[in-house]
Amino acid sequence: MKWVKVFGLFAFLHLGAWLASHIWLSSHPETTLIVADTSFSMKDEFPAMRRWIDDYVSTSRYTRVIVGTDKALIGPYEELRSSDAIFRTAFGRSSADSLQRYGVIEADARVLLSDGSFNAAGWTSIDFGGDS
């Protein structure tokens, strides 16, 4: 009978820890800023970039994702009707200077989806191998 009480106590403590962790992480999510390079040379990579963003969001449970392009900030991913809104236009070239507008946004992680033609300080670059 003693082992049943000990098992019940550990199960109760374990459940309590999981519940407390869930409540804490739900109310204090990490923020990730994802910026997609929408230059004309990346147009063929848009479907792969869209899949990458969708996969990232679906596997990041306690993370608030903010999406933008090298041209403009789009906003929180959960407020988008579709991830297609990210890739509406393709023009121009992207550079490290085009990321300067995102310096004021507080984010725990910054991810740049690009062809790897430039490196931006403070950003994790995901290379999609487009023509540069």
Whole-number Å distance between alpha carbons of 76 and 65 = 6
Confidence at residue 132, expressed as pLDDT on a 0 to 100 scale: 43
Cα→Cα distances 75→10, 41, 65, 72, 117, Å: 43, 24, 9, 9, 25
Within 10 angstroms of residue 6's Cβ, the number of other Cβ atoms is: 10
Torsion of CA 86, 53, 100, 93, to 10 degrees: -60
pLDDT score at 116 = 79
Q: Would you place residue 35 in the very low, low, confident or very high pLDDT band (cuts 50, 70, 90)? A: very high
Considering the four listed CATH numbers 3.40.228.10, 3.40.50.20, 3.40.50.410, 3.40.50.12780, the one that applies to the domain covering 29-127 is: 3.40.50.410
Q: State how far the Cα of 79 lies from the Cα of 69, in Å rounded to an integer.
A: 16
Check residue 113 and report its DSSP letter: E
Mean pLDDT (whole number) for 124-130: 81
- Region 106-110: what's the mean pLDDT? 91
Task: Give the contacts of 109 (CB within 8 A, at least 6 positions apart).
Answer: 30, 31, 32, 33, 124
Residue predicted with more confidence, 27 or 82: 27
pLDDT confidence of residue 92: 67
Average pLDDT, the chain: 86
User: What is the band of 64 on the pLDDT scale with cuts at 50, 70, 90?
Assistant: very high
